[in-house]
Structure formats: C-alpha cells, structure tokens
A = this chain, B = another copy of it.
Amino acid sequence: MRSFNPATGEAIGAEFSRSTRAELEAMADAAFDAIDFLADAPGAQIAEFLEDYAARLESDREGLARLAHEETALPYAPRLSEVEFNRTTFQMREAARALRDERWREVASDESNKLRSTRVPLGGAVLSIGPSNFPLAFNGVSGGDFCAAIAARNPVIAKAHPGHLNTTARIFEHCAAARDAARLPKAAVQLFADCAPEDGEALLAHPGVAALGFTGSRASGLRLKAVCDRLGKPASLEMSSVNPVFVASHAADARAESIADTWAASVFLGGGQFCTKPGVLFVAGERAAARVAHRARELFASAAPAVLLTKAIHEHASAVIATLRARGAQPLAGLAASTTAPSPASRDGFRMAPTLFAVEAAFARAHRAEVLTEAFGPLGIVVSVESDAQLVDFARVLDGQLATTIVSDANDAATRATLRGVLRFKVGRMLDEVMPTGVAVSPAMVHGGPFPATGDARFSAVGLPEAAKRFTKLLCTQLS
C-alpha cells in the first residue's frame, strides 16, 4: 500500500505492507507486557514520554509538515506547520498534565462504608484509528485518541491512515524514540499500516485489546461499532455530521449576503474536509433564502477547486452530488468539474470545484437523508424554508450532530429559544452566529454528540482530561 500526492494523483513514498492476522495478534499479545507497567508506573514517567515526544516532533516541525503537506495537499503554513502542529503537541502536554495530576480520575472515598472508587485503565490496548483530514492532530499515533488513551494509562495499537502513511511512519519514529528514552515497554505504543477488515475485527476480539478509538467515515464506523457492540468493548466513534446552520427569518432578511459570506468561507475551510463543516444552511423565508443562494453562487463559482485528501473522498462527494442530481436538484455552481472522476493519468489529482445546491423545503423533506448526508469537499446546500415554524420542524427531525449554529436577530428571540430547546438534545455543541468549524482544545469543549454523529453523547473526543475518561473503567476497592 502506498499513499498518493492528492495534487497529482501519483503514488509517493514507500510501499507499506499489510499486516497478517498473526502479526496483529502478536501485537495484541505484546500489549500484555505494557498493561500492568502503564497502570502502575509513576505518572511522571509516562508524562515525560509525552513531553519528550512533543519536543521531538517540534525538532522536526518543518520536515513533518512538508511531508504531511505532500501527502494531504493541506496547506503547509499556517495550517500544518503551525495550527495543527501546535494543537498536536499541546494535546500531548495536556495528556502529560493529566498524568501528573490525576484528580480527573474521580476518586471517591466513603469512610463509613470503607469504600474507595476511582477510574483505572481498561486492562488492554486501545486500537487507535485516525482519519485522513488531520494527519497530525488526530493521527492514531499522535492525535487526540492516542493522547487520551495514554493519559488513561492504556497501551496503544495504532493503525496508520492510508492517506498519509509516510507522515505517520515518520511521526512514529519520534514516538518510539521517546518511548524508549522514557523506558516504557515497546508495547506501550505499536503501529501498523494496513490490515484486511476481517483481521482488524480479529484484533478487536483479542483479549489484549480493550477498546477502540475511531475517527472516520460513517460506513467504517458503523462496521466497527457492530464488532465492538458484539464484543461488549467500549468504542469511541466519531463518524459523521453535517452540522446544519439554522437562519431565523429576521436575521435572514437583514443580513442574507453577509450570512452567505460567513457560511461559504466556513464550507471552503480545509477544502470542506472538517468534520465540523456546516454542510447545510436552512434559511427561513423564501425571498431571503433566494438572496443567500444568489450570493453563495457567486462565491462558489469564483472559488478555486479544492484538492481533496484522497481518491475515496472525491468519489464519495461525487456520488453524493450525483444522487442529489438524480433526485432532481441542479447545482448552481460546480457541475462540470464535480462529475469528472479523478484519473491518476491526468495528473490533475483529486480536485473538485466548489459545488452549491439550493433546494426548496419540499425537496429537503422528500430527500432528507440525501440532503443531510455528510460529504467532505467544497459542497454546500442551501435549503429555502417557508417560515420560522418550518425551520423548527427541520430541527425536530434532525439526527445526532457534532455541532450546529443558530443565526438570529433580536426579533428572532422566540425562534431562537425554540430552536435551542430542540437542538440541545440533537448536538454536542450549539453555537450562536459563529460557524462550528473551529474546535478549540479546551476542557469546556464538547466534540461529541448523539448517534450517528458519534457512538455516545455522554463523552467528548476533544478536551483533556474529560476525553481520557472514555478509556477508563470504574473500580471500587476497600479503604483499609
């Protein structure tokens, strides 16, 4: 298996081999060497590993960011070399802090009943599978789930994403060096590049693996969820979300064009490949919605094509667009480029023109699943809704989402209040005005939300130490 340069569609870097089932099981067997060690080690020793790891990454900042840029086509600066890089090392240092101060483990003591309870590690490795769109900050071997699993004192078995195999291998060199320097067992962190799906399932079933941390597509996530559910092993799944924006009628009337500007800019961020991209904009009032769509059309038509991360993402977005067209919606911008499948021979890479749909409420009601399907890429949909009451109706039937934004003016107070009452149960994060794309690393962040956005709305994947609780179990012992 090789990664591709998305800008050219050509394979780059080393050939990575697929691990056999025996090799995967050997990794899970080896995890037993690290389980007790990590559970019992001084927190400072594991913290030093993370701090040294962060420092080693920083010493290779330019090289790593350049390689990640080559493999993902994400901008070198500031995106990779600054923003994502700093987020990655910040998360490692937050995890180190969670190991130096373990109050988040919720120790509860009861003198009269002679009981003490706390959160302990799971007793097995966390299989950590990161997504394509954050080659550093959500990488299985350096990202949020990795940090959370280690902060909770579990070994990690990470799977590289096929979109950035070389970046991941280079990150892991630093990880392994820091691991060895901190005298942690080799099995504290292990990495593999690829496996057959059924061998991945066997790995999850191995007693040396206790949990899954997954960020990726809904299809893969649901498949892995079914495996973990059957095994009774906890799975942290971040799958998909369209993060709809709801524009109340007075705000839409007063600011149609500026709302379109803000929304389109958010859709275009990172080539439309953020899991918090606001993919659908519901606008109350048909005349205002037409103005929003008109302005958005100018923006989409004049924006440069985005180079998508992988061929699979290009194919998925193209399929979503084709389905919407088959249902009768016509794109206002982007048609020609979007229907062309990428061809490695053409050296055009995985490019996609910004693609805008504007549909009526009746269409969105008739084809709700299609309109509300997540698609990475510069794709956005404006839904023209009859009134504020119908805007609320769309909120009521929404599936679980990571985030949502309500756009409203003072005269929309009642609509805003009703929307908030409905949406608080539908999303992990509910914003006013601000588009949901940015996800601050903060203990007050919730990067989560009801199924199918994630597997469990009671947890957050971002924000230590809270995110580490995903990879713990409760244990009660006697006070002596």
**Residues of chain A at the chain B interface (Cβ within 8 Å):** 35-36, 39-40, 106, 108-110, 113, 115-117, 119-124, 210, 225-226, 229, 231-234, 400, 421, 424-432, 434, 440, 442-446, 448, 450-452, 455-460, 463, 466, 469-470, 472-478
Contacts and interface: CB of A to CB of B under 8 A. Distances in A.
Contacts of A231: 451
Given A40-B421, A232-B400, 9 more contacts: A108-B442, A108-B466, A113-B444, A117-B444, A117-B446, A233-B451, A428-B476, A429-B476, A460-B474
Given A120-B424, A229-B225, A443-B108, A474 B448 contact: yes
Contact of A475 (B233, B424, B452): B424
28 contacts: A36-B421, A106-B466, A108-B442, A108-B443, A108-B463, A108-B466, A110-B442, A110-B445, A113-B440, A115-B442, A117-B444, A122-B457, A123-B425, A225-B229, A231-B451, A232-B451, A234-B456, A234-B457, A424-B475, A428-B474, A429-B476, A430-B477, A431-B478, A434-B478, A444-B476, A446-B474, A450-B473, A459-B474
A25 B452 CA distance: 23
Contacts of A40: 421
Copies of chain A in the complex: 2
Contact of A444 (B108, B424, B457): B108
A169 B475 CA distance: 36
A470 B460 CA distance: 14
Given A445-B117, A457-B473, A232 B452 contact: yes
Nearest to A420: B477
A23 to B, nearest CB: 24
Contacts of A425: 35, 120-124, 210, 473
Contacts of A476: 428-430, 444-446, 460
Nearest to A432: B478
Contacts of A226: 229
Contact of A474 (B121, B233, B458): B458
